[in-house]
Amino acid sequence: MLSVHTSPLEQPGTGDAGGMNVYIQHTAVEMARRGISVEVFTRATASEQPPIAELAPGVLVRHIPAGPFEPLGREELPAQLCAFTAGVLRAEAFHEPGYYDLIHSHYWLSGQVGWLARGRWGVPLVHTAHTLAKVKNAALAEGDKPEPRTRVIGEEQVVEEADCLVANTQVEARQLVGLYGADPHAVHTVEPGVDLERFTPGPSSAARRALGLSQDAIVFAFVGRIQPLKAPDVLLHAAAHLLRRRPELRERLVVLVVGGPSGTGLEQPQALRELAVSLGIERQTRFLPPQSGEALARVYRAADVVAVPSYNESFGLVALEAQACGTPVVAAAVGGLPVAVADGVSGVLVPTHTAGDWAAALAGLALDPARRTELGANAVHHARRFSWSRTTEALLGTYAAAASSFQDALRPEVAV
């Protein structure tokens, strides 16, 4: 697996670490459990990182020096692709030919590396975009920067060269075909999963005690990277709108924001805190650093509602994790979120990003215990449809299809 710009060893929720990290980590471990050795190539970001680290038995992470030993913005990484590719090829050169059977690249930067390695090693390339520049540019948050033309061209090249493309949803599959001219037969839809052992229902009371929250608090939670694309500001505006309409809730409302600045959010890392002050809800808003494991599950269990107001999501793993914990989700009706959230069953989809619509949707769940309980129970059932084991099984089927396609391409045509 190739993951140039972020490592599965990094904590999701800040910098460039997010759902893709979770995806790579869980699918790699699941493959190893099935006897498939996996190596993940990622860029080294610190001199003290070992050249090779074990993520789990059967899964190695190779840190490839490419550029300075420090995090780089994604806009800086194309200049390091040559060095990264050289490191990948050098690592393979220490093995017998045919050591790697298949390349799975994640995100367009990795796809560029995979494209070259595919030709050198004579193995098939499977590519997962995770996000698409043309889709992001069509749904920009106010003040956010469009993805550069360099990325658009890079994505088009990878789509053309990959033996198989993995889409998270049917919506993304149609986008690959319609916007990028992908061969429909090369596109395979494989829905991501959720860790059903870690994210389970649990008592809200214990979770709230651990977080220092009142038992009668009305808790809205946002989990993810703090950047315009993820739109945590929509939640703050909705909370302020709700308090203007229902001022008696001011002493009970808590807005939990869990995550760190990322992407263009790094340019104004205090912007969300300043927004809370300007909206008059600084006392109601609590900021927590990125959480993992049981601590993250506690956040979901403590919330009455988890908000996912993104302007674009290829799927929405946070929505699945929250639902697996028995917490209903209010999400934007964009990208893969209509798959991750069953509208009116496990949560509510909001067709706009206006404060009034979001306040109404959030209050409609948080202030109606019976409905919240019903949707919470449905949410657990809905989330159980998705597992990393199921995702991995489908990926292995895609790998087999890619290998077959690759061999067909190599087979010479016989003149008749």
Binding residue numbers for UDP-N-acetyl-alpha-D-glucosamine: 11-12, 19, 225, 230, 291, 313, 321
Distance CA 199, CA 325 (A): 5
Q: How far is CA 86 from the centre of its chain?
A: 28
Residue among 383, 243, 284 at smallest CA distance from 327: 383
Q: Are 235 and 284 in contact (CB under 8 A)?
A: no
Binding residue numbers: 5, 11-12, 16-21, 74, 107, 131, 151, 225, 230, 291, 300-301, 303, 313, 321, 327
Backbone angles phi, psi at 176, to 5 degrees: -60, -40
The β-bridge partners of 226 are: 261
Three-state SS for 133?
helix
Beta strands in 177-275 (DSSP E): 187-189, 218-223, 253-258
Buried b (16+ CB within 10 A) or exposed e, 178-196: ebbebeeebbbbbbbbbbb
Binding residue numbers for Mg(2+): 300-301, 303, 327
Nearest-5° Cα angle at 16, 146 to 283: 90
Binding residue numbers for 1D-myo-inositol 3-phosphate: 5, 16-21, 74, 107, 131, 151
Sign of CA dihedral 165, 112, 7, 396: positive
Type of residue at 64: I
Residue among 222, 240, 251, 220 at smallest CA distance from 281: 240
C-alpha distance from residue 94 to each of 44, 90, 188, 289 (Å): 19, 7, 33, 41
The β-bridge partners of 104 are: 126
